[in-house]
Each structure stands twice: as structure tokens, then as C-alpha cells.
Structure 1
């Protein structure tokens, strides 16, 4: 790939490839219960020094030591991390939410892969929008973060700003249908009013037909239909915790407690529990004569 082909809105392709590797490495390190500082150090050594990511990792590590969080540093690195990336990390680090950090890393890893493959603005919007819907994140903050993405031109940013205040008031399928080429085709056939030049279609004919067929239905069904019919990227679902890995340690702790209780019962049946074994060895039994009346 030539240098010209690797350029586009945002960063170079190699930056997104290294970001994908970084998010994957952090995810694998957390799965292995490694300390985050060690993970960042090892990942910094793996990342290409020709990219800007090593400097960003140093900044993230410094912020982690200072506040224990990543998103404040990512906000200050807005020229490198997109607003949506920062929004995902901030949502995953919110103690009041149910969105976990590992799920956020999975989403960011796939998004970086899509950006490296020169994803279209339509695909990026549907991926980010489904992420917000599926994981029940905040629409207002999410749309504001999406609008700051360099992948979107002026028409897309206006579309995001308008619908940022309308989510929940209009059907999501209508949001896509009314900005599609299929809507214009239907308006011409019916002799209706056409949108002005300030509101050009952002979605194609097929997207509009699929959106029209999914009106008044669950938005996740709309996203699923677009993925089947148009090949749009799928959003990672929330990772399920394998409870089987905790089953044996829990059973061992319970058995230890049962053994301790059984031993106390056996000691009591033999003539009483010997309390001297619970005394500190250097002090022996307490002398109550030391206390006054």
C-alpha cells in the first residue's frame, strides 16, 4: 500500500494497526491477571516506535499512576484518540455503570481494525450506534463523541447533532430511512416534498429499504438485518464470565471451613475445647490478677 493510500481522515493506517494490537495485548494481560503497569510496559516495547502510540502509552501510564484511570489522559490526547474511543473507556471506568473494561477493549480493538481497513462513514456510524444501544450507554454523550470524529464530514456532524437531541423521540429506523436514497425515491414516486441540498442522503437505497421494513421494531433487529444483508460489522456482545473457574476454589474454601468446624466439635466431645492453642505463644494464658477489682 502506498503512502497516499494509507492516508485518510484521522491517523495513518499503521497507527490503527498498532492500536488494535495494543488493545488486544491489554485485554490478554488482564485475562492473565497481570498488573496494568506491567502490561503497559510490555506493550510499549512491542509497539512500533515509528508510530505515536508509544508516547501515548507513556502518557496513559503516568495518568494511571496519578488517578488510576485512563480516560482523563485520553481526553487530553484528543489529537490521537477519537472522542468515541475516550467515551468507551470513560463509560467502562464509571463505577456506577455496568459496562466493564474488558468489553470496552473488545469494542475498541474491532473499531481500530475497521479503521485500518478504511471503513466507510455509514459502517462506522452503525457500529458506534449499535455499541451505544446494545450496551445501554448514554446517547447524548455518545453522539457528541461521535460528532467529533474526523471520519464524519459536515453533513454527518449535522446529522449527529440533530439526532443527539431526538433519540428516544423518533424511531431509530426512521432516523436512517429519512436520510436514505430510498426515501428520496419514494418521495419522487408519491410526488412529495424532497429534502433540500442541506440534507443530502447519507445512506443508500438498500439501507433505506431495510430501515423501512424495521420500523416500530427493536433497533437490534434493524442492526442485525443490516449486518446480514449489507455485511456491516457486528458489535461484540458483553463477555460472559466463566463461573466454572471459580467453582473449585470456592469449594476448597468451604471444605476448609467445614474441617475447622468438625475439628472443634470433636474437641468438644473429647472433654472441651483447648483454648490455650489460641493464645499468643510469647504471652501465654492471660493473668486476670493484674486487673483491679
Structure 2
């Protein structure tokens, strides 16, 4: 498989976005695929792929099976993400999967780089726990990567048990090679010239600087820095995790309920001691009250 024309990725972005939005409106997948077919640009190959996906979902109930049978159009990573969302055992939501593919298609339609695409795909796999081994194989099979990139991605499965990603990215960057060359002696430089030039680094100078600064830190900080500094695509968060977050109003309500439960426990044990709030004789200072006054620790 080779990379697709820009117009294909633009239509893919539209397709995954519309599919996700209409699923949120509780529209059946069969109806979505039936109507969106007419909206997609007819000069692309996506309408034929959508027709095939609709026939497959009516037959087997999964669109990932159709995508797997169209390897010349959908990448292995796209198929892998959808298959994980359709897995009955997996807790990965289909809405999140579609948003992942939507943002990836948008990035490909622009000036996509191998470095940016790898960082995005790798974070999608790790953040959503989609399966490390299978995920790396799917990423390595992407047509945007050449043989050197694919070989390096496949090697991560063994290397990440010894070193962290930021360190491996740093070692494969132009920044690392520049530092190493500056530390070589004149004799070593001559030996390198005799053995031939080294292959081009996989990551650039700035990628390497960011990676070196994040060695030993949380990997999420590394991904976030790359997104800010190099404009790499941002990975969407799980819809379920967003919905489960407590709002400040709800947290305040829960705090009040907790205080009331403490008061009820004290009343059951014999009442609340109010003597600590009495004004002391000869003192002009009024008693101080707090939210936790008189309550057990």
C-alpha cells in the first residue's frame, strides 16, 4: 500500500467525524453508512469503501472486518483501532476510536511527518491500552514509514523494557548525533569517514532536545511538549473518563454530605460537645468557628 492523495484524507476526516457525531445521536451504523455515502466526494475511492463497509456490517456486524479486507485503502493502524473498539472484551469506546482516526486523517491531509505521525499513533496505543505488541506491528505497517522506520518501530517492543521512550527517541535524533560527534577525537572522526557516513537520523534536532529534557519524567509530559513545540496532533481523551470527572459543584455537594454524616455519627454516640464554643470569662475575643469544628478527625 502507498500513501493516498490529499483529497482522500480530507474525505476520511469528514467521514469519521460525521460517523462519530451521528452515533452520539443514537443513529444506527447501517443508517449512517447509507446516508453518508451520498455526502462524500464522488471522485474519491471512499464511497466504494463505505458501500463495502455497509454490506459487511449487515452481514457480520463489524466494520473492522471490511477495513481489514481493504488493506490498499485503510492502513493497518486504522483497522487495528476500530477492531479494538468493536472487541466485546475491550473497554475502548467506539466514539474515541473514530475521533482518533478523524484527527489522524486531518494530520495526514496537511504536512504530515513520520515523526509526528509516530508520536501520535504511539500515544494513542499506550494511553488507551490497546495492546502494545499488536499496536506496534500495526504502526510499523503504515505506508508512510520506510524500512528503517518500520524496523525501528518493531524493535521498540524489546527496547522499551530496558529504556524509556524519550531516551530511545533521543538516541535516534539528530541532536544525539551532533553531541556524539562533538565528543569524538580526530582519530575517531577519520575512522568514521573511512567506514562511510551514518544513516540519517529518524528524529530531528528539536525532537532530540525535547526528548533529552524529558528522560526520567512522566511520558505524558514528553508527548505534551512535542505537541506544544512541534505542533504534533493531540490525542483525544476517552469519553468515559471525561464524563466520570467530578465537577466542582458536585465535589462541594459531596463535601457537605460528608460533614452531615459526621454530625449524625456524633449525635448517635452521645451528642455534640458545644462547650468548646463558649466564650471564656474575661476574654473579649469571640469564639472562632470553622467548617470542621467539633467534628471527629
- TM-score with structure 1 length normalisation? 0.76
Deviation at 1:133, TM superposition (A): 1.7
Structure 2 residue 207 is matched with structure 1 residue 177: no
Partner of 2:220: 220
Aligned partners of 1:61 and 1:153: how far apart in 2?
Answer: 33
State which of 27, 30, 54 in structure 2 corresponds to 1:34.
Answer: 27
Aligned partners of 1:12 and 1:178: how far apart in 2?
Answer: 33
Structure 2 residue 143 is matched with structure 1 residue 150: yes
User: Residue deviations 1:206-265, cap 9 Å, x none?
Assistant: 11111111112221110111112222221111124658xxxxxxxxxxxxxxxxxxxxxx
User: Residue deviations 1:44-86, cap 9 Å, x none?
Assistant: 0111111111111111111111111111111110000011100
Deviation at 1:162, TM superposition (A): 1.5
State which of 10, 15, 22 in structure 1 corresponds to 2:15.
Answer: 22
Aligned partners of 2:93 and 2:198: how far apart in 1?
Answer: 39
Aligned partners of 2:122 and 2:197: how far apart in 1?
Answer: 25
Aligned partners of 2:38 and 2:158: how far apart in 1?
Answer: 44
Deviation at 1:168, TM superposition (A): 3.1
Aligned partners of 1:168 and 1:107: how far apart in 2?
Answer: 26
Deviation at 1:164, TM superposition (A): 3.1
CA RMSD, aligned part only? 2.1
Partner of 1:69: 62
Partner of 1:110: 103
State which of 113, 128, 132 in structure 2 corresponds to 1:139.
Answer: 132
Partner of 2:275: none
Distance change >3 Å, CA 231–CA 214, structure 1 → 2: same
Is the Cα–Cα contact under 8 Å of residues 104 and 233 in structure 2 kept in the other structure?
Answer: no
State which of 167, 172, 190 in structure 1 corresponds to 2:183.
Answer: 190
Residue 38 of structure 2: SS of its match in structure 1? helix
Unaligned segments of structure 2, at least 5 residues: 245-297
- TM-score with structure 2 length normalisation? 0.75
Deviation at 1:196, TM superposition (A): 7.9
Is the Cα–Cα contact under 8 Å of residues 24 and 105 in structure 1 kept in the other structure?
Answer: yes
Partner of 1:51: 44
Partner of 1:97: 90
Aligned partners of 2:106 and 2:140: how far apart in 1?
Answer: 20
Aligned partners of 1:130 and 1:199: how far apart in 2?
Answer: 26
Partner of 1:121: 114
Unaligned segments of structure 1, at least 5 residues: 1-8, 244-293
Deviation at 1:197, TM superposition (A): 5.5
Aligned partners of 1:40 and 1:29: how far apart in 2?
Answer: 10
Which residues of 2 match residues 220-259 of structure 1 at below 5 A? Answer: 220-240=220-240, 242=243
Aligned partners of 2:95 and 2:129: how far apart in 1?
Answer: 16
